[in-house]
Structure 1
Amino acid sequence: MVIGEQDDSPTYASLLVEAFADKHPDVQIEVIAKAHDGPAGIVQSLLATQPVAPWRMPDVIVIDTVHIAQLVNQQIIAPPPNNHFISGIWDSFYPFAINAVSVEEARMAVPFYADIQFMVYNGAMIESHPRNWDELTRVERQYALPLAHGDGSMADALLLQYIARWGRYEGDVLDLDSQALASVLQQYRRLSEAGVIPRATDSLTSLEECWRAYFAGDAMLAHVSSVDYQRARPTLQRTHYAPLPTHNGHPVTLARSWAWAIVTDDPERQELATSLIATALQDESYTAWLAESHHLPVQPRALTRVTADDEPYRDFLDEQMANAYPYPNSKVYPQVQEILIRAIEDVLAGEATPEQAASAAASAIRMLR
């Protein structure tokens, strides 16, 4: 079993191995932790190992769902066997989680956990959270938004606003409407001119850095990832949460998710892998791992367990996740991110109008087809 380094919780691994051993005392599990991405990460390791040493491939992995289509195309992962557990589990997941593991409508992995994006703000300084960008402008407080090259969060934030503006998104990042994109870029320029996203915060390269800027008091509002809020949540007193403000006030979020995928093509080992996945999603071990990792469950019933102490927060997360869009899994999305980032930079630097930047971006993205 190969899992991401961030998933390698001693408590969770111990509970999982022990629970699985109770069902299969004659089967031993080897747990290998690797980075999810990068040269030595799970994906590159699988791609490098399969052609030269297929017998060294793991039976089951935890994978960032952005890589699922690539691994399916390389014939590294196959759909889970349609046994009793698999056939009965799909109705328990949020829709975005199923979409994230689907390739041409085939469900290629079992959802495991996710992070979503929302806004935090200082409730002692801001009485009511802004729902749209006009209200955000009138708040007259600094908003931490990723506006520099980094992990792609700058482009992701723009895509999220585009989805809210366009009103629909089928996951095709290669077919963006230039007028809707121009409208969003116009809003970016307005926020910049109003000082809501001042130069002091335009070096933020990730949602984690947005959280740090907010936590340090450099901004009174911030676009953040749920994992950073979850990590600090027990100690927060004045921090409130809310949907991200959008062009028209329509709440929207992106969900980045991870899933269990089966690599082995041996039917007997596939059944064992399925049993391991079922064990991983059982109440005790799953709840313990979520508490340690600060990620969110992809099942409403699990969300109820991990937020039992805070009903308003549970209701907020449930609504956000029920309507979340899955993170793009196109193999060219990193190139799309670079194009979108350039569009934002050109507009904020005054080197192009929103219309010019949007038209150039949409044309460049279509060339990636």
Structure 2
Amino acid sequence: MPRILVTGGSGFLGGTVVDTLLSRGYLVVTTMRADRPNVSASQLTYAIVKDIAQLDAFDEAVQQNPPLDAVIHTASPFHYRIEDVKRDMLDPAVNGTVGVLQSIRKYAPSVKKVAITSSFAAMYNNVNKPVGSTYSEQDWNPVTWETALDPENAAGQAGYRTSKALAEKAAWEFMEKEKPGFTLTSLNPTLIFGPVAANTASLENLNTSNARFLDFITGKVKDKCPPTGSLFWVDVRDTALAHVLAIEKDEAAGKRYFLCASPFCNVDLVEIIAESFPKYKDLLPKGDALELGRYPGSGPPYKVDHSRSVNELGLKYRTLKESVEDTVKSIEVLLEKS
């Protein structure tokens, strides 16, 4: 059976990628240890990577015996605690992505396919994109290193978006320049919802994108629904499966895939939680308190074209209702532990 390296295997997405690979019978090496007591050591092993901001960070991890057949690179920072945008975001994202490609080229000639987690952030933020138009794989965030280092990008979502855009651009530039013996596929998910892994230790380890669900069901935002922020959503299980399909399907080579189920706003989440979990109704924002969580106009400002992921990868996206319900149920388990 093929042997796959997954970087960032303890993360929300990376852990789900590991589980998806294991369920399909792959032998998996991952760079972050996580508790999976029912998985044998012959099927799941671990490699140490100290600092992904260093270009040689993955040199040892890619040298495996038996050798690797493919690599899925999910490791990248996703947080808004940014003091220095270059140190905290750009270097880990860009060097981590280019570094793993470099290490594979030098030390893992057996690897034939590589899939990297990019982001909708690498597609977003084009000032020439008119409201009402459609996002697809053709879209690119126009950021450059110069604009990324502008002081206005020193914090928050701007730092994250620029890091993902520059990392993906650097990956494709590497492929064009170096022409390695492996193919590259990039996966560009939007905001990722979905159930928290059973081995998540506590609420403190809850991933950033799911934190809004905890805020809703604990009443933290009862008096003021927060703005939605991101435009679109996708379930973590569909996103993980897309990464696996990207290394299984030859037609995915050299392509990027926009992973998105549909547009959404926070009011949609509140309404689903209220309907599916009546016990939380009194903790959810109502009436005027919902205003900030609505779409800025009469509906979604942009449309979605995810036909490439559906037609070529064979994805069938989960509904928002299913994803919200499963996410809330998984967070309830964490609340019971705490």
Is TM more than 0.5 here? no
The structure having more radius of gyration, on CA atoms, is 1
What is the TM-score when the length of structure 1 is the normalising length? Answer: 0.28
